[in-house]
Amino acid sequence: MKLSHTLTATSAVFDDPNLVSAAGLVPVLALADRAGLRRLADEHLSVSTDKGANAGLKVASLVAGMVAGADSIDDMALLRHGGMGRIFARAYAPSTLGSFLRAFTFGHVRQLDAVASRFLTNLAAQGGQAAPVLGDGSGGRVLVDVDDTIIEVHGHAKQGAGFGYSGVRGLNALLATVTTTNSAPVIVAQRLRKGSCGSPRGAKRLVADALKTVRTLHPGDVRPLLRADSAFYGAPTVGAALRGGAQVSVTVRLDPKVKAAITTIGEHAWIPIEYTDAIFDEVSGTWVSRAEVAEVPFTAFSSKKATDQVPGRLVVRRIPDFNADKKKAAGQGTLFDTWRFHAFFTTTDPADLDTVAADKTHRGHAIIEQVHADLKSSALAHLPSGKFTANAAWLVLAVIAFNLTRTAATIAGADLARATTATIRAKLITVPARVASSARRVTLHLPTAWPWEAAWTRLFTHGCGPPATLSP
């Protein structure tokens, strides 16, 4: 592709009041209205003074800006260009939205959490059986993943900023996602914390909140499986999961008790698995692999009181340790000279998940890292305010925008249901259009030969009714 030879005879002028750069916001905001976003915000938010007036409209404006690609308060100005005023009402100035966020207290953030969970519940019903946002309920597993991530910040005016586990100065976001066999992850709970706090801080409460929402989304006999890394291997978090009706699959640290349990595993118990560099032997029907798994009965938190102890399984994966010589020189025991061990504790039934399946399922926990990366490449690229509670509210709004975008993509079609937010935005949201009106009817004129016209039309039809067929 190259520039047209006629380009030298043209010019560029910002003078068309009828153009919009994000026509996809029309069906997406219609979807948000159907799910009651503005109504929920008006009902549950009690931000005082004039800053909190029309909370529903302000929340919808912030979410719309994030869906369209805003990652700062100033970026909300993209809602006020061209013909946006002809298809949307009350597009607030960025300064007004910033004042609204800075008026939040911790209690208001918790109110917004309630809005987010109820909104997600309403979104889950929007796709119907044709486009199940959270799976179609046809068996499979409901997987809840918990993990935190550091959102890097700069400057000395950010309340709560500090150096976290990654060595990066920022604020800590704790998230819980839910995934099913046939649906992409959505976020069911979130908390913003000080950058220097430990990973498990507040996880007990977040897990309880997340599982309550999951129960609402997936009523019935389905028992969720909560997955987490070793930072969340503790009696409070695991206990909260079990009380919430979930099973657990949590990575453990190789402490003396875990190492002692590993030494009891006989050589005959190790099973080769599909892993990096594995080869499937069709003759024997087995994997030839450097990675092997085995398990042994294990009671978690055995040093604590009886009510905190949890019986279950210790599933162990081992791979060759290519630094064995260095470890021998350091005087380590022979068991850990040859192999590297990775272990996790699970309460799942072996009849439901055998050793190999349990290991594979646990490794799927990495999906939450994709959610972290997705958020950081969109609305959470920055935490825009110096005030901690404003940033905490921004996190909740980013989650609402993420779930709304995921729902819109699922309704648009299977090809986009598992796409990243950036891909969904490029194909469905930031579609340019010219706004025309006649006989009290507004028509969006979109580009011809748009590659994702069918998906966009499907979303538009769901949210706004069938688009008009224009006569040639």
Instruction: Give the pLDDT band of residue 468 (cuts 50, 70, 90).
Output: very low
The tokens of 158 are what?
Answer: 């950010």
Give 63-91 pLDDT, tens digit per residue: 999 999 999 999 999 999 999 999 998 88
In 3D space, the residue among 276, 273, 214, 266 whose CA is nearest the CA of residue 240 turns out to be 214
**CA dihedral sign of residues 119, 121, 124, 128:** negative
Residue entry with tokens 């030839």: 288
Which residues 6+ apart lie within 8 Å of 355 measured at CB?
271, 293, 294, 295, 315
CA 447 to chain centre: 32
Fold of 134-376: Transposase Inhibitor Protein From Tn5; Chain A, domain 1 (3.90.350)
DSSP 321: -
Decide if pLDDT at 328 tops 70: no
The tokens of 272 are what?
Answer: 């080769």
Decide if pLDDT at 288 tops 60: no
The pLDDT of residue 274 is 78
Give 360-381 pLDDT, tens digit per residue: 999 999 999 999 999 999 999 9
User: How many CB atoms within 10 Å of residue 215?
Assistant: 16
- Distance between CA atoms of 65 and 53, rounded to whole angstroms? 19
Instruction: Give the pLDDT band of residue 419 (cuts 50, 70, 90).
Output: very high
E strand or H helix that includes residue 147: strand 142-152
- Distance between CA atoms of 152 and 168, rounded to whole angstroms? 6
- Distance between CA atoms of 15 and 329, rounded to whole angstroms? 74
Cβ neighbourhood burial of 122 (10 Å; 0-12, 13-18, 19+): middle
E strand or H helix that includes residue 100: helix 94-102
Residues of the chain with CATH 3.90.350.10: 134-376
- Distance between CA atoms of 106 and 327, rounded to whole angstroms? 49
**Phi, psi (deg, nearest 5) at residue 25:** -65, -25
- Distance between CA atoms of 316 and 348, rounded to whole angstroms? 14
Instruction: Give the pLDDT band of residue 325 (cuts 50, 70, 90).
Output: low
pTM confidence score: 0.91
